[in-house]
A and B are shown apart, each in its own frame.
Chain A
Amino acid sequence: MKVLEVFNPNRVLLNLEASSRDEVIKILADLLYSEKVITNTEDYVESVLEREVHSTTGVGNGIAIPHGKSTTVKEPAIAFAKLSHPVEWASLDDQPVNIVVMLAIPDSEKGTTHLSLLSEIAVKLMEDDLVESLENATNVNEVVKLLS
């Protein structure tokens, strides 16, 4: 199960209480820091916010895939949050977001297999059935299984 190399139940937050996009990003960054994926939360958050300035990562259907590429990222990884209340994300379909899949991408080119895993997970989020299952998921293992 290769996905477990970038994603695991410790990196899933359900019923997250957050009032804004930036708060969600900060909370997930703290999570990646505690998981030892990133070594500096501030630098990572800055790279994620820079990416949002370039163009929104709210891809529609209530999903956002914020991502930061930074030297502070030690290995490709994913953190997942399902929010109690949707937040504004300037999404492509103008709808607020309640499922956030945050990607951490190292600055170097190493670990291309793991990078491909991140891409595969992003593509899965295009499937309406999967999104619906994620909406209904009530435990962290279920979420990991759905994205594997």
Chain B
Amino acid sequence: MKRKIIAVTACATGIAHTFMAAQALKKEAQKKGYLIKVETQGATGVENELTEKDCQIAEVVIFAVDTKVRNEERFSNKKVLKVPVAAPIKNAEKVIEEALALVDND
């Protein structure tokens, strides 16, 4: 079974880091053979929005954010790893492994 991760990225300006963090997470997940869907909450609005079904399927949620997550209640019953938006840009592997450890060490 492939690991299933969902993530939300958001930064203060909503132009650069939001999308770079999303890209970093997707690249790393692809490299590892994990399934990932990343919602970006940027200056131009929410893109690739996570649905109720996405939230059900996912094992774990990553918030890579420097701002408040919009519609956070969607994730109320999920394990969430919250990191600064810069964290996946710096080291996406570490962020993803930490997120999976949240469920694996349960």
Contact = CB atoms under 8 A, between A and B. Distances in A.
A118 interface: yes
A112 interface: yes
A137 interface: no
Contact of B19 (A57, A67, A93, A122): A122
Nearest to A105: B15
A92 B86 contact: yes
Interface stretch (B20-28, B48-56, B57-65): B20-28
A55 B44 contact: no
A2 interface: no
Contacts of A55: 66, 84, 86
A122 B90 contact: no
Contacts of A93: 90
Contacts of A116: 44
Interface string B14-36: 01111110111001000000000
Size category, B interface: 20 to 34
Contact of A115 (B43, B66, B84): B43
Contacts of B84: 55
Among B16, B17, B22, B44: residue with most chain A CB under 10 A:
B16
Interface in A89-136: 92-93, 103, 105, 109, 112, 115-116, 118-120, 122-123, 125-126
Contacts, number: 62
Interface of A is mostly: mixed
B20 A126 contact: yes
B36 to A, nearest CB: 15
Given A54-B12, A126-B23, A119 B18 contact: yes
Given A55-B84, A59-B20, A126-B20, A119 B13 contact: no
B5 interface: no
Interface of A: 51, 54-57, 59-60, 65, 67, 69, 92-93, 103, 105, 109, 112, 115-116, 118-120, 122-123, 125-126
7 contacts: A54-B66, A56-B86, A92-B86, A105-B15, A112-B45, A118-B16, A119-B19
